Amino acid sequence: MIEFDITDKLFFIKTDIVESLRLVIDPELHINIIDMGLVYNVNVDETEGKICIEMTLSSSYCPMGESIVSAVKNCIELHFPGFITEVLLVWDPVWTYDNLSEEGKRLLS
């Protein structure tokens, strides 16, 4: 789960980014990537006008991986015009069902 420091001056934009990413749905499980626990970190560099999303996929062989990454990039560029978007796929830590939010678990049951 993503955690932010509320004293961070970028706290509000980061939470807005996370809420926007709830629109990106895993096409196989039909759950948004936030409740799936796929997004590990959100970095914003206002000086360079850049948003970087660190995320993973449910597996390194995810057949919809490219589609999900494209959807993340498109979502951020649509909701935060003027920012350059970078999506970094990371594999550590490996995604597990423990990453699911309570809402994600409810949706899967």
Say whether 50 sits in a helix, a strand or coil.
strand
Instruction: Read off the pLDDT of residues 21-72 as tens digits, 9 standing for 90 and up.
Output: 999 999 988 999 999 999 999 999 999 999 999 999 999 888 999 999 999 9
Q: Which of 1, 2, 22 is nearest to 72 (CA)?
A: 22
Q: What is the DSSP-derived secondary structure letter of residue 94?
A: P
Q: Do 25 and 32 contact (CB within 8 A), yes or no?
A: yes
Quick one: pLDDT band at residue 92, thresholds 50, 70, 90? very high
For the domain spanning 11-100, the CATH number is: 3.30.300.130
**Does residue 16 carry a pLDDT above 70?**
yes
pTM of the model: 0.91
- For the chain, the structural domain boundaries read 11-100
